[in-house]
Amino acid sequence: MVEDLSKRAELLLEALPYIQRFAGRILVVKYGGAAQTDQTLRAGFARDVVLLKFVGIHPVIVHGGGPQITKMLDTLKIPTQFIDGHRVTDSASMDVVEMMLSGLINKEIVSLIQQAGGRAVGISGKDGGLALARPHHLSRMKEDGSIEQVSLGQVGTIDRIEPGILHSMIEGGYIPVIAPVSPDADGRSMNINADTMAGEIAAALKADKLILLTDTKGVLHENEVLTGLTPVRVRELIREGVISGGMIPKVECCLNAIESGVARTHIIDGRVPHALLLEIFTDRGVGTLIAGQIERG
């Protein structure tokens, strides 16, 4: 019993320098995957976020909701079209996307955080002029070798982030919870990739960290997690084929954030209980760190 208590004390002492280091800093978390759908992990994530706020760190949450959206589209019998594996968001689908992201999912996360003792406010990119988007087009090669731009409907990419509303919320002691929906210049709602939204918000807030919660251990090579990566090394790993498939857009998101001034980016396994705290407050962490200048933390 005494030995167990001593180990807990050692963990708290290990966390102390990180608490001191990141106090007052902004940390943007993309929340998705199993951490968002598993009931136990959901409750643990909410407590983790509240703890961060109480020790003086300012978490900003950007969430996804793909599985929930797909389930609702199926329930409503709204057909989904894909182009080269990319979902097309038409007007009917966008209504469901916005209903689920800005409504149900967003408010569930706010409620969980508040049940854990925090103060959270749910918004989307449409609120307070937070974001402006433009339509995203998919580039693909035609049979004659030329490149065509294919519309994905109301799928957008971020043009601009105005973080004033987020600064006001942070200064007021609130935890912002952001749904990745943004208007375009004509006021149409656009569906934004949550990783991309989180990266753009981290850059606009000059966040110290961008953390992507995923359903993988991080960047893997021969089943080992690679960490302490620089942008140069990441690009080498892409060329070597070590980083491939769905991991490429995640590391590209991290690289873009670093180029925009975010100090550290992390890709971590949200299936691990309290992964957020383990990555921030322990020496080894539990995922892949990518930073311009490598220094653990």
Kindly give the confidence (pLDDT) of every residue in the chain, 297 residues in length, as a single tens digit, with 9 standing for 90 and above.
555 666 777 778 888 999 999 999 999 999 998 888 888 999 999 999 999 999 999 999 999 998 899 999 999 999 888 887 778 899 999 999 999 999 999 999 999 999 999 999 999 999 999 999 999 988 887 777 778 888 899 999 999 999 999 999 999 999 999 999 999 999 999 999 999 999 999 999 999 999 999 999 999 998 899 999 999 999 999 999 999 988 999 999 999 999 999 999 999 999 999 999 999 998 878 899 999 876 544
- Domains plus CATH for the chain? 21-291 (3.40.1160.10)
Model-level pTM greater than 0.85?
Answer: yes
CB atoms within 10 A of CB 73: 18
- Asked if residue 66 belongs to a known ligand binding site, the reply is yes
What is the predicted pLDDT for the residue at 5? Answer: 60
Per-residue pLDDT tens digits for 188-201: 999 999 999 999 99
Q: How many CA atoms lie within 13 A of 48 on its CB side?
A: 24
What does the alpha-carbon distance between residue 137 and residue 149 come to, in Å, rounded to a whole number? 6
What does the alpha-carbon distance between residue 237 and residue 267 come to, in Å, rounded to a whole number? 15
- Angstrom CA distances, 201 to 60, 103, 257, 267, stand at 9, 20, 9, 17
- Asked if residue 65 belongs to a known ligand binding site, the reply is yes
Per-residue pLDDT tens digits for 43-86: 999 999 999 999 999 999 999 998 899 999 999 999 888 887 77
- Angstrom CA distances, 258 to 27, 92, 164, stand at 14, 36, 21
- Asked if residue 117 belongs to a known ligand binding site, the reply is no
- Asked if residue 106 belongs to a known ligand binding site, the reply is no
